[in-house]
Amino acid sequence: MLLKPADLPEVIALFPLPGALLLPRGRLPLHIFEPRYLAMLDDVLKSRERLIGIIQPRPAPEGQRRLSAIGCAGRLTSFNETEDGRYMIALSGISRFRLTREVTGFTPYLRAEISWQGFERDLGQPETDERFDRPAFLDLLRRFFTQKKLATDWEGLEDAPDEVLINALAMLCPFDHEDKQALLEAPTLPLRRETLQMLIEFALRADGEGQLQ
């Protein structure tokens, strides 16, 4: 289902999830088991758009809730129910949004009015990065993965389109929530790649490694 700007609702369900990052045209698997989010899933499945907004919580005093200003909506594209009533689902990233205000009501989960303005490119064609030096970047990434003891399909990374590679790494690399938010808010793919590269270089320098020239 290809969504157009006019198809996007003004109110969506929110799933505040620390450390999780969803990007347009990315895919985020989730394990749903809390009763409030099971209720959310039931309601989302009844809607036409089947959208869930992934958004980062922010530090707040005890008893208070603060959310980041920008999140990303994903369309529920697959789900499987386990024998004990839990769900394994996947969201496909549609568009980023700006949080306007939370909506009070009778649902046990959060809902919010949101604005899609400023993120029109998210609904367009996949982006490319003409300045992307892939061999140098992958060399940097190998050192980072070695440092973090991570494994990956290097052949697949070498062949992946720019956006698939950069966004997948942004979603999967073990950065803190503020770094993930910076990756989300990068307005273009080249700026996201530069932010990702900077974060990797910083992690390597922290352990005395080198820097991509």
pLDDT, one tens digit per residue, over 53-66 is 999 998 777 767 78
Residues 96/84, Cβ–Cβ less than 8 Å: no
Beta-bridged to residue 115, according to DSSP, are 98
Residue 193 has pLDDT above 80, yes or no: yes
Question: How do 57-58 and 70-81 pair as beta strands?
Answer: unpaired
Half-sphere exposure at residue 119, Cβ-oriented, CA atoms within 13 angstroms: 24
Residue 195 has pLDDT above 80, yes or no: yes
User: Mean of the pLDDT values across residues 171-177?
Assistant: 91
The rounded distance, in Å, linking the Cα atoms of 194 and 198 is 6
211 pLDDT more than 60? no
Q: Mean pLDDT of all residues in the chain?
A: 90
Which tokens belong to 73? 């909506």
What is the pLDDT, as a whole number, of residue 71? 97
Whether residue 212 is predicted with pLDDT greater than 50 in this model: the reply is: no
Question: Span 142-161, mean pLDDT?
Answer: 88
In this structure, the number of other CB atoms found within 10 A of the CB of residue 183 comes to 22
Quick check: 139 pLDDT over 80? yes
Tell me the average pLDDT across 76-87.
Answer: 88
Interval 144-157 mean pLDDT: 87
Q: What does the pLDDT average to over 179-184?
A: 96
Contact 175, 20 (CB under 8 A): no
d(CA 58, CA 81): 31
Sorting pLDDT into bands at 50, 70 and 90, what band is 2?
low
Reference 114, options 148, 156, 68, 62; nearest CA is 68
- DSSP H/E element including 72: strand 70-81
List, in order, residues 6 or more apart from 49 with CB less than 8 Å away.
Answer: 3, 7, 8, 9, 75
11-20, 62-71, 138-147, 193-202: which range is least confident on average? 62-71
- Bridge partners, 12 (sequence order): 112
Question: How far is Cα 147 from Cα 186, in angstroms, rounded to an integer?
Answer: 26
pLDDT digits (tens, 9 = 90+) for 15-72: 999 889 999 999 999 999 999 999 999 999 999 999 999 999 987 777 677 899 999 9
